[in-house]
């Protein structure tokens, strides 16, 4: 097995693939990347048994063969090279020899037959979506997903595909984000829950990409194919909670405000809040919003006033400042709308501007009980 490849091209692909590798594995083979050589092409594969990602790149080769190479050792070596062609050749004693302009390096490889096979997607349905659109959907939702091992369904992003549009939902029971695209449709209705790790991988690879992503899915696995990359992962098993039931339908109190000003004020005032509850108080009266926080244990308190546009009854409501900050930071609009009904019902944040046609973002944040 001999081939010549560009050092930077190989490094770029390996860095993408290494995102799937765990820092510690019970199976030593999972610390390796599978190299499959075909004439003119090298296919690289990494897996953690739940998620498998493969990428192909052009190489100078006339032979075929496959071996598993230690990922960390190869990555650390490649990072030190400037752009240059590297020659890989199989040597004695189960070693792979790398020849560069600077010298030679030998590393031990493992038997490729030990490398786990990716799941086959049978009886699959499919839908296509532009790479950047998918990355945007992930970015808008993934931060709201939970980390509770006892509720695994909430630790991922819920995909709802139908002929009327695509919907992506994430929640941790304190906050919820629903991202909708009515301009994209699927040939048939389907829903599944994607784990967080492969979504973060897709987000980093696809952000800004105009590549078409083909999504094939069945009841247990999903496959994303784009350009020279294929990602296959196991879906989270279980039924997603009925999130529509928690979104208040009637919200007579509506406030419009500059997002950046609101965000900066929340960040500043929250410094003075209780370090356990992170509670801040919003008091809306007329065209003024008063944001305050206090930590009674230390006699710390802060209050700021902001101008806003408000329709509804004067009211007070408490929120966890961390959740509010997360939501406002993940929006790009200049102005946002906050819809409220009662102090014990969730607040709904929606962007007023900055959305593409067919795009809709709904963010829901649960209130906290105010200490009078």
Report the largest interatomic distance among the alpha carbons of the chain, rounded to a whole angstrom: 81
Q: Express as a percent the part of the chain with pLDDT over 90.
A: 87
Q: Are residues 238 and 325 in the same domain?
A: no
Average pLDDT across the chain, whole number = 94
On whether residue 171 sits in a domain, the answer given is: yes
On whether residue 329 sits in a domain, the answer given is: yes
Q: What is the span of the domain harbouring residue 350?
A: 247-368
What contacts 134, CB < 8 A, 6 or more positions away?
202, 206, 213
Q: Which of 93, 114, 135 is the last residue of a domain?
A: 114
pLDDT band at 73 (very low <50, low <70, confident <90, very high): very high
Q: Are residues 59 and 166 in the same domain?
A: no
On whether residue 120 sits in a domain, the answer given is: no
On whether residue 153 sits in a domain, the answer given is: yes
Q: Which of 92, 114, 136 is the last residue of a domain?
A: 114
- Residue 236 tokens read as 């989270």
- Residue 343 tokens read as 């102090």
Question: The pTM is what?
Answer: 0.92
CA angle 170, 315, 299 (to 5 degrees): 85
pLDDT band at 339 (very low <50, low <70, confident <90, very high): very high
Q: Are residues 261 and 149 in the same domain?
A: no
Determine contact, residues 90/65, Cβ cutoff 8 Å: yes
Give pLDDT, residue 256. Answer: 96
| pLDDT tens per residue, range 30-67 | 999 999 999 999 999 999 999 999 999 999 999 999 99
| pLDDT tens per residue, range 85-129 | 999 999 888 999 999 998 999 999 999 999 999 888 888 899 999
| pLDDT tens per residue, range 161-200 | 999 999 999 999 999 999 999 999 998 899 999 999 999 9
Sign of torsion over alpha carbons 18, 22, 202, 136: negative
Q: Are residues 49 and 90 in the same domain?
A: yes
Q: Which of 114, 147, 178 is the last residue of a domain?
A: 114
Q: Are residues 265 and 213 in the same domain?
A: no
Give pLDDT, residue 130. Answer: 94
Give pLDDT, residue 330. Answer: 94
Residue 254 has pLDDT above 70, yes or no: yes
Give pLDDT, residue 372. Answer: 63
Residue 206 has pLDDT above 80, yes or no: yes
In a 10 Å sphere around its CB, with 0-12 CB exposed, 13-18 middle and 19+ buried, how is residue 355 labelled? middle
Q: Are residues 362 and 251 in the same domain?
A: yes
Give pLDDT, residue 234. Answer: 96
| pLDDT tens per residue, range 273-296 | 999 999 999 999 989 999 999 998
Q: Are residues 87 and 38 in the same domain?
A: yes
Q: Are residues 230 and 130 in the same domain?
A: yes
Q: Are residues 235 and 252 in the same domain?
A: no
Q: Are residues 334 and 264 in the same domain?
A: yes
Residue 297 has pLDDT above 70, yes or no: yes
What contacts 331, CB < 8 A, 6 or more positions away?
259, 349, 351, 354, 361, 363
On whether residue 119 sits in a domain, the answer given is: no
Residue 150 has pLDDT above 90, yes or no: no
Q: Which CATH number characterizes residue 79's domain?
A: 3.10.150.10
Q: Are residues 173 and 216 in the same domain?
A: yes
Give pLDDT, residue 21. Answer: 94
Query: How many domains in the chain?
Result: 3
Closest CA to 215 of 236, 238, 233, 240: 233
């Amino acid at each position: 097995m001999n081939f010549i490849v560009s050092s930077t091209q190989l490094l770029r692909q390996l860095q993408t693939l290494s995102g799937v590798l765990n820092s510690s594995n019970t199976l030593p083979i999972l610390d390796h990347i599978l190299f499959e050589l075909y004439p003119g092409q090298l296919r690289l594969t990494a897996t953690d048994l739940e998620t498998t990602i493969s990428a192909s790149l052009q190489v100078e080769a006339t032979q075929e063969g496959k071996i598993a190479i230690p990922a960390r050792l190869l990555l650390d070596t490649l990072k030190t090279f400037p752009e240059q062609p590297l020659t890989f050749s199989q040597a004695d004693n189960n070693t792979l020899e790398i020849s560069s302009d600077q010298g030679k390096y030998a590393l031990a490889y493992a038997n490729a037959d030990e490398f786990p096979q990716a799941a086959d997607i049978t009886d699959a349905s499919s839908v296509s979506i532009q790479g950047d659109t998918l990355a945007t959907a992930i970015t808008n939702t993934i931060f709201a997903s939970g980390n509770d091992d006892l509720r695994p369904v909430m630790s991922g992003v819920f995909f709802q595909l139908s002929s009327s549009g695509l919907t992506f939902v994430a929640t941790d029971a304190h906050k919820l984000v629903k991202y909708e695209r009515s301009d994209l449709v699927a040939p048939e209705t389907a829903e599944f829950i994607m784990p967080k790790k492969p979504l973060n991988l897709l987000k980093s690879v696809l952000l800004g990409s105009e590549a078409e992503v083909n999504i094939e899915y069945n009841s247990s696995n999903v496959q994303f194919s784009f350009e020279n990359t294929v990602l296959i992962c196991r879906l989270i098993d279980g039924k997603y909670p009925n999130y529509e039931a928690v979104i208040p339908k009637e919200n007579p109190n509506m406030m419009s405000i500059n997002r950046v000003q609101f965000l900066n004020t929340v960040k500043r005032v929250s410094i003075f809040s209780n370090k356990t509850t992170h509670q801040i108080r919003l008091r809306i009266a007329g065209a003024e919003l008063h944001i305050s926080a206090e930590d009674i244990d230390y006699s710390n308190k802060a209050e700021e006033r902001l101008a806003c546009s408000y329709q509804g009854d004067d009211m007070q409501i408490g929120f966890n400042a961390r959740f509010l900050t997360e939501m406002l930071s993940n929006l790009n609009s200049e102005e946002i709308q906050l819809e409220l009904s009662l102090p014990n019902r969730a607040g709904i944040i929606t962007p007023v501007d900055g959305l593409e046609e067919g795009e809709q973002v709904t963010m829901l944040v649960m209130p906290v009980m105010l200490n009078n």
